[in-house]
């Protein structure tokens, strides 16, 4: 799965490279594991080999490593500028156990290939802010990143945990303005579940081709034959995190927010163990397994033989129909990546992403809108709703036009009461209009004016609902 965090402190960011990214994970007894440049932005800068310390530090300081000049147009003060984003892609625990502790290099290669494939999908959501010609608060998709990948194989607790850090620097090339600008990563954050689904689907496909069988799990899938006890034994950090959160919730008497959980987990982390070699870490992991577990895992590894999986007929349409039925239960419009994410997760390892994207374009029930996809049924329902609203304009007498609200009510509250009691519309005119359709009274408005009007109506509607 993918997780992401932004690094804002320059000194910490540079230290993060020296003490963690470039080392062979947390323990690092002088074992250097260089990263690899990835992303279309890195290619534009001419980076195609291993990541050097000078290149990494230069980009952290917003300098072009090729000439030392400032890279992006603006440089914010220390603590305000995001130095880089750390997108981490982690393998399922059973894959980590077999790949790391049992030294199955085939699984490590499968993880690396699937992670890079998924990261390329996330890269398509890279964007930058438009600031010219009076345009503000609008993003333009650039689709290119300057990033470096670092593969690690252990957790802080020295459990097997195969994962890749994708360090995404705060720069992207704007092809329209022909210059480097700060990265707007909001689209990537929004699509992080999609990136996770792409990774799991590609990894499941490769794991099965190696010869392992997979089974559904809470977080994607696990390899059949790796016991639940083994997975739990090598998930010490997750158990520590759950215990900390549980203790704090009992103390406060309520559920913690996501930010509070993140802070609690960060504060409870143990210090990194340094000066221990990879061989010693593997020996520690191996010693935690019983004789039966060792034999079982070794047999599982040796019995995995490469196979070619037949493509399941019509699977693209099957998973897509499932996704349509699922995502439109509570939403009328969804972005394409959300639809694809649900479809991929439904049959991990059995879906080809390119075929799935093509199936989305040709599914007759889907309708493309400015903000994503809707369905013919939803559009018909919303048009009926608009016609009902329009038919109710000036159709009834006001409920109580002479009513005077109490003096202790606020101005907004009095206006809300006046509106409800004095309107002659059967349905209040400022109801939120459906996103995929347009009301009759707005037909002559220009698109910008229409959006401003509907946005104002939506805000007023939400305020009234809160007051009621």
- pLDDT tens digits, 410-448: 999 988 888 888 888 888 755 434 444 444 433 333 444
With respect to residue 198, please indicate whether it lies within any of the assigned structural domains: yes
| Tens-digit pLDDT profile for residues 134-190 | 656 689 999 999 999 999 998 878 889 999 999 999 999 999 999 999 999 999 999
With respect to residue 17, please indicate whether it lies within any of the assigned structural domains: yes
d(CA 430, CA 68): 56
Say whether both 156 and 50 belong to one domain.
Answer: yes
With respect to residue 368, please indicate whether it lies within any of the assigned structural domains: no
pLDDT at 30: 57
| Tens-digit pLDDT profile for residues 272-312 | 666 677 888 888 889 999 999 999 999 999 999 987 655 55
Say whether both 208 and 354 belong to one domain.
Answer: no
Say whether both 42 and 160 belong to one domain.
Answer: yes
What's the chain's average pLDDT? 84
Is residue 357 very low, low, confident or very high in pLDDT (cuts 50, 70, 90)? very high
What average pLDDT does range 370-382 have in this prediction?
A: 89
With respect to residue 110, please indicate whether it lies within any of the assigned structural domains: yes
Is residue 205 very low, low, confident or very high in pLDDT (cuts 50, 70, 90)? very high
d(CA 414, CA 453): 22
Last residue of a domain, one of 259, 279, 303: 303
Is residue 466 very low, low, confident or very high in pLDDT (cuts 50, 70, 90)? very low
Say whether both 59 and 173 belong to one domain.
Answer: yes
Is residue 191 very low, low, confident or very high in pLDDT (cuts 50, 70, 90)? very high
Say whether both 335 and 299 belong to one domain.
Answer: no
Residue 262 has pLDDT above 70, yes or no: no
**Contact by Cβ (8 Å): 23, 31:** yes
Report the percentage of the chain scoring pLDDT > 70. Answer: 81
Last residue of a domain, one of 262, 281, 303: 303
With respect to residue 44, please indicate whether it lies within any of the assigned structural domains: yes
Say whether both 273 and 408 belong to one domain.
Answer: no
Residue 451 has pLDDT above 70, yes or no: no
With respect to residue 264, please indicate whether it lies within any of the assigned structural domains: yes
Range of the domain at 443: 397-467
Say whether both 344 and 221 belong to one domain.
Answer: no
Residue 267 has pLDDT above 90, yes or no: no
With respect to residue 371, please indicate whether it lies within any of the assigned structural domains: no
* Number of structural domains found in the chain: 3
| Tens-digit pLDDT profile for residues 15-35 | 888 777 776 555 455 566 789
**Contact by Cβ (8 Å): 160, 285:** yes
Say whether both 227 and 327 belong to one domain.
Answer: no
Last residue of a domain, one of 303, 326, 345: 303
Say whether both 298 and 319 belong to one domain.
Answer: no
Say whether both 240 and 345 belong to one domain.
Answer: no
d(CA 246, CA 337): 34
Say whether both 261 and 125 belong to one domain.
Answer: yes
With respect to residue 391, please indicate whether it lies within any of the assigned structural domains: no
pTM for the model stands at 0.81
Is residue 50 very low, low, confident or very high in pLDDT (cuts 50, 70, 90)? very high
Say whether both 297 and 323 belong to one domain.
Answer: no
Residue 343 has pLDDT above 90, yes or no: yes
What average pLDDT does range 369-386 have in this prediction?
A: 89
What is the dihedral sign for C-alpha 368, 369, 373, 377? negative
Q: Between residues 312 and 467, which one has the greater pLDDT?
A: 312
């Amino acid at each position: 799965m993918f997780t992401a965090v932004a690094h804002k402190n320059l000194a910490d960011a540079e230290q993060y490279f020296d003490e963690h990214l470039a080392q062979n994970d947390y323990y690092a007894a002088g074992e250097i594991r260089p990263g690899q440049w990835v992303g279309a932005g890195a290619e534009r800068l001419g980076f195609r080999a291993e990541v050097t310390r000078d290149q990494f530090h230069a980009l952290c300081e917003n300098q072009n490593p090729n000439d030392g000049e400032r890279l992006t147009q603006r440089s914010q003060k220390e603590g305000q500028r995001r130095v880089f984003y750390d997108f981490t892609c982690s393998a399922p625990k059973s894959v980590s156990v077999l790949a790391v502790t049992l030294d199955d290099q085939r699984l490590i290669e499968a993880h690396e290939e699937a992670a890079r494939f998924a990261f390329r999908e996330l890269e398509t959501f890279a964007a930058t802010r438009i600031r010219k010609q009076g345009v503000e608060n609008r993003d333009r998709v650039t689709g290119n990143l300057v990033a470096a990948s670092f593969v690690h194989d252990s957790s802080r607790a020295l459990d097997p945990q195969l994962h890749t850090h994708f360090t995404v620097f705060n720069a992207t090339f704007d092809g329209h303005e022909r210059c480097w600008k700060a990265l707007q990563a909001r689209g990537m954050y929004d699509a992080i579940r999609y990136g996770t689904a792409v990774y799991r689907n590609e990894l499941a496909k490769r794991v099965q081709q190696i010869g392992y069988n997979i089974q559904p799990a809470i977080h994607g899938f696990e390899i059949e034959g790796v016991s639940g006890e083994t997975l739990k034994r090598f998930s010490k950090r997750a158990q520590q995190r759950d215990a900390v959160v549980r203790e704090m919730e009992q103390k406060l008497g309520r559920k913690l927010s996501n930010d509070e959980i993140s802070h609690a987990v960060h504060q409870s982390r143990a210090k990194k163990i340094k000066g221990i070699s990879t061989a010693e870490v593997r020996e520690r992991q191996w010693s935690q397994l019983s004789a039966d577990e060792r034999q079982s895992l070794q047999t599982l590894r040796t019995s995995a033989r490469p196979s070619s999986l037949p493509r399941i007929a019509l699977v693209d349409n099957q998973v897509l129909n499932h996704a349509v039925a699922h995502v439109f239960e509570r939403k009328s419009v969804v972005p394409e990546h959300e639809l694809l994410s649900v479809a991929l997760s439904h049959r991990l390892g059995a879906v080809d992403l390119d075929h799935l994207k093509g199936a989305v374009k040709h599914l007759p029930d889907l309708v493309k809108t400015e903000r994503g996809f809707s369905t013919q049924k939803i559009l018909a329902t919303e048009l009926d709703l608009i016609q009902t609203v329009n038919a109710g304009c000036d159709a009834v007498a006001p409920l109580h036009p002479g009513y005077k609200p109490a003096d202790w009510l606020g101005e907004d509250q009095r206006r809300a009461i006046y509106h409800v009691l004095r309107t002659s519309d059967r349905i209040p005119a400022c109801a939120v209009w459906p996103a995929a359709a347009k009301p009759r009274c707005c037909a002559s408005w220009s698109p910008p004016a229409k959006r401003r009007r509907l946005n104002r109506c939506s805000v007023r509607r939400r305020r009234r609902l809160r007051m009621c």
